[in-house]
A and B are shown apart, each in its own frame.
Chain A
């Protein structure tokens, strides 16, 4: 079962920042937080992942709280092409571990 809780849906105005929350209150010290997204009719796409520190790449920023029990994915300037289902996933760092998906958050970017 997924170890994360996300809102089922969110809206965001085009050009504004999209802030997607995720609760993972039972996370262990050796578990990463991963974010993937899935655009309609495509396979999931990797966005970003982190362990303790905040992370930023060309797609997004990941903010992890100090107690690691929650995180926020930030898309700084949302476009219509960012409309997708966003999955927050907790994954053990060691060993052969797959991604376990929950239901995710359906983000709609509105013009």
Chain B
């Protein structure tokens, strides 16, 4: 079974530039999550989708971050403009329906460095 695919693996940009990350969840998974992991900390949820609808985006900095999942499959997370404190690993995860008895499957993440 193919896992959660993310690209790019690494990205280096200068502050005030924009950047986009892509995620392809496991086939058939309705729920998709984006997490941000700053060095030395646990992952923090940014946004959760159920199919193409947003379930929770309460921790997404909406002045600069945006995310979409237009057809309920792939998802894109964008940062515009980037700040130094956005340097982190951005993880995508998916699960079948999102209920509490299901495990989440994570991708390897995109490591972003903002200079």
A100 and B45 in contact, given A91-B100, A95-B99 (Cβ under 8 angstroms):
yes
Considering the complex, which residues of chain B in the window 22-66 have a beta carbon less than 8 Å from any beta carbon of chain A? Answer: 31, 33, 35, 41-45, 48, 50, 55-56
- Total A-B pairs, Cβ < 8 A: 66
Contact B45 A98 (CB under 8 A): yes
What total of chain A residues lie within 8 Å of the partner, measured CB to CB? Answer: 28
CB distance from B22 to the nearest CB of A (A): 15
Q: Which of A2, A42, A103 contacts B108 (CB 8 A)?
A: A42
Contact B48 A98 (CB under 8 A): yes
CB distance from B74 to the nearest CB of A (A): 17
CB distance from B72 to the nearest CB of A (A): 15
Considering the complex, which residues of chain A in the window 56-106 have a beta carbon less than 8 Å from any beta carbon of chain B? Answer: 85, 87, 91-104
Contact B31 A96 (CB under 8 A): yes
Interface centre among A44, A91, A93, A101 (most CB of B within 10 A): A44
Contact A94 B91 (CB under 8 A): no
- Give chain A residues whose Cβ lies under 8 Å from the Cβ of B35: 101
**How far apart are the CA atoms of A2 and B43 in the complex, in Å?**
11
Q: Main SS of chain A's interface residues?
A: loop
Contact B100 A32 (CB under 8 A): yes
- Give chain B residues whose Cβ lies under 8 Å from the Cβ of A93: 99-101
Considering the complex, which residues of chain B in the window 89-110 have a beta carbon less than 8 Å from any beta carbon of chain A? Answer: 91, 93, 98-101, 103-109
Contact A95 B100 (CB under 8 A): yes
- Give chain A residues whose Cβ lies under 8 Å from the Cβ of B55: 96
**How far apart are the CA atoms of A32 and B104 in the complex, in Å?**
14
| Interface residues, chain B, with chain A CB atoms under 8 Å away | 4, 31, 33, 35, 41-45, 48, 50, 55-56, 91, 93, 98-101, 103-109
